[in-house]
Amino acid sequence: MKKILLTLFTLFLLIQSNIATAQTQFDVNGVIVPREIKFQNKTLQLNGFGTRSKMMIEVYVQALYLTILSQDAKDIIDSNTEMAIRIQITSSMVSSGKLTRNLNKGFELSSKDILDTLLPRMEQLKGMLSDEIVENDVFNLIYNPTDTSIWVYKNDELKGKIAGFDFKKAFFGIWLSDNPVGENLKKNLLGQ
């Protein structure tokens, strides 16, 4: 009887441990996506996440974090509140050049009418992402409404800031605009 009770108690502890873990993070093909991230004494909540694939190969896992959860893409793009995009590289095929080319293509899709005004800041972003990229690198690109800039982190190291609410809108528009780089990824980021 003691063995049965000990086994049941151990099983109960394991189940409770898994429930607690499930509440704080998600596992996407081996990539841990946290339910929340902290920025400037604020807590940003996971709104949605998904994967980006090229030629049938998953290249990164991406997540969207907001202060107030939303499924309204236009509302998110237009919001002047803290928000973040988290990208974790999952393939050695991703290089700095490929990542910045894809971001530039996304800027072109999401903001054709103001692209000329964004070009110098797109170059700034390119410079911040110019270091070698390896599998499991994590990029946090966090919008701060206090200084209206996107703070660019690579593996928790601040690489720099890119100013402008217009840049923020175009940047989040890469994935959330009416012409996103991936329709399925957009739905996943919106939690749909």
| Three-class secondary structure of residue 47 per DSSP | strand
| Whole-number pLDDT of residue 96 | 87
> Per residue in 87-96, pLDDT tens?
998 888 888 8
Tell me the C-alpha to C-alpha distance, in Å, between residue 28 and each of 90, 102, 181.
11, 22, 20
Assess if residue 150 is contained within a domain. Answer: yes
Assess if residue 19 is contained within a domain. Answer: no
| Three-class secondary structure of residue 63 per DSSP | strand
| Whole-number pLDDT of residue 129 | 92
Specify the number of domains making up the chain. Answer: 1
| Whole-number pLDDT of residue 57 | 65
Contact predicate 191/71, CB 8 Å: yes
Phi-psi region of 149 (alpha: psi -120 to 50; beta: other; left: phi over 0): beta
> Per residue in 118-174, pLDDT tens?
999 999 999 999 999 999 999 999 999 999 999 999 999 999 999 999 999 999 999
Assess if residue 183 is contained within a domain. Answer: yes
Q: Radius of gyration (Cα) for the chain, nearest Å?
A: 19
| Whole-number pLDDT of residue 55 | 61
Which domain, by its residues, includes 171? 26-189
Backbone angles phi, psi at 38, to 5 degrees: -100, 140
Quickly state the pLDDT bin for 16 (edges 50, 70, 90): very low
Assess if residue 17 is contained within a domain. Answer: no
> Per residue in 35-88, pLDDT tens?
999 999 999 999 999 987 666 666 789 999 999 999 999 999 999 999 999 999
pLDDT at 12 > cutoff 60 = no
Q: Which residue do the tokens 């190969």 mark?
A: 57
- Beta-bridged to residue 88, according to DSSP, are 61, 138
DSSP assignment of 75-142: HHHH--S-EEEEEEE--TT--HHHHHHHHHHHHHHH-GGGHHHHHHHHHHHHHHT-S---TT-EEEEE
| Three-class secondary structure of residue 40 per DSSP | coil
> Per residue in 97-111, pLDDT tens?
888 888 889 999 888
**Distance separating alpha carbons of residues 152 and 110, to the nearest angstrom:** 20
Look up the pTM and report it.
0.83
What CATH number is given to the structural domain containing 48?
Answer: 3.50.70.10
| Three-class secondary structure of residue 152 per DSSP | strand
Assess if residue 153 is contained within a domain. Answer: yes
